[in-house]
Structure 1
Amino acid sequence: MLDRRALFGASAAIIASAALALSGCAASDPLADQAKAGDGKNYIAGDGSVTEYAVDQRGGTVQFAGALLNGQNVDAKTFKGKVTVLNFWYAACAPCRLEAPDLEALNQEFTPQGALFYGVNVRDDVANADAFARTFKTTYPSFKDKDGAVLLAVSSFVPPSAVPTTLVLDKEGRVAARILGVADKSTLKALISSALAEGKTAEGNSAQK
């Protein structure tokens, strides 16, 4: 089953009522609680919860096109055949800063294996985003998504204000896994490895025939 606890609208009232309706009880939802807190931190920190989607429970292919911070245009159609990691972030987000070194380490490890890594910057201008990349030595490109086009394309999986969120797309371009909040390095590594391994057995058997 899909974990839809965090699929809520932008307003605190909608978030709270949706969480209550989905839970079927009066239990507190941590994301909704943060949205209502009014503490001025401007992001909702996920709890690190991980949702892995079985192959037969994945939605359709993620479709969007957008410009990277360097001006290059990228169409998600080019992701097909690759495992793709999308990390939603912005420079002043403390959890984003915390996870950045681990994301870069995984980028260095898995890019030679055919994986793609993209950040999706939801708030910054190019100068601030570039300063973040220099500070944390991140080398993978990021989409400039202040207009929310990329976020909208995956809105069924990424709550509008829950930053950071990390998605792993399978080789068909479907969401195979999601991490809300700081991505634990070992967990994300396992999710990427699992997605890369999908289909290899079938491909090997086919090649032997």
Structure 2
Amino acid sequence: MGRGEIEMESSYRIVYDKLWQDLKKRDPEEITAVRAVSYSSNTCQFVVMFFNEEYIVDSAKETIRRKTDGYIPDVMATIIILNYLAYAQPLPESVPSWVSIKEIPGGMIFYSAFHKTAVSVLIETFGHQTGRLMRVAPSLGGQAGPFGHESVVFRAFPEIPLCVIVWQGDEEVKANATILYDPSIELMLRSAISIDLGVYLAGQLKRLNTAHE
């Protein structure tokens, strides 16, 4: 994703440019030691698994492209991937669990926007047709989750799972949905980027559902 290949709002541009510079300041070996990514010193490229697809992150050229076809991810996905690499730190051992966005430090501040741009999208898309969620989920590497037929676990990155749950509505019961995170995400992504990750996932699921209609 070169500088001339992407259009974005100025606020995104500031974050985008800063993340590339922060990534370049890091020792790649420090990143590969604590993240499930590979790096080639010959090409200055990381290989990152993001939602079941490999992406080539070229820190010299400041580009990100999908390995299979050269597809350039949108600005939100790019910032998420760069954040994941640029701020990589060792993780303490912990027992996997699930929490809502409200339980992530800083998450409460963004909850209203998160509900509008992520949860509401899931409700609108799958709230009355939960079976569609299971049909489109495999395209993003989703697998059946621990909360019944309407829950799916995705791996945004190998270390970062998200669980989407949709409760089907009818004439008597209002449809609902949520996205759950592992608490360790607070050590891997900034809180605002964690919000973006949920919004990105909801948007991709909606896109896939529309494509299947």
Taking structure 1 as the reference length, the TM-score comes to: 0.28
Taking structure 2 as the reference length, the TM-score comes to: 0.28
More RCO (CA 8 Å, sep 6+): 1
